Amino acid sequence: MGELSTPTPPLGIGDFRIPDGPLPTRLGISVLEATPERVVGTMPVEGNTQPFGLLHGGASAALAETLGSVGAMLHAAPDKVALGVDLNITHHRGVGSGDVTGVAIPVHLGGSAATYEITISDAQDRRVASARLTCVLRPAPAAPNGTAF
C-alpha cells in the first residue's frame, strides 16, 4: 500500500462537524464538496487494488459509503446522526491507475432515513461503479459538554 494521505479536515455546517475516521484516511479519500444535496470526493487507485492490479471493490464500496454518509450526516445535523443500514454496489469496469471520483446525490431525504445514489467514475469520466446507500437517522448522542455533536 502507498503512503497515507493527509486527512481531509472535518466538514460541516456552522459549528457542526462530521467526525473523520481512519478508513477514509487510509484509503486516501478526499471530500471536495459537501452539502446534503451533493457530495463529491476522490480516491487514488494506487494502494487500493486487488491482486490483479485493479481497484478493489471494497475500496469502491468504502468511497461510496463515505460520500453517502457525509451527505446523510449533513442532512441530519445537528440533532440526528446517520447510520448506514444498507449498501449495494455494482462494479461496471476495472480501473488500474489514476484517481476515481464519486458523486453522491440524494434519492430520499426524510426525517428517519436518507438514501443516496453514488456514481464512481474514472479520469475519463467512464462509470466504474454505481451504488446506493440508505442511512437511518437517529438522535445525536450528547457530547461530554452536554451539547449535541
Active-site residue list? 65
Instruction: List the beta strands (DSSP E) in the chain.
Output: 30-35, 38-44, 80-91, 99-109, 113-121, 127-139
Residues 127/138, Cβ–Cβ less than 8 Å: no
Question: How many angstroms separate the CA atoms of 1 and 3, rounded?
Answer: 7
Give me 143's grid cell: 457530547
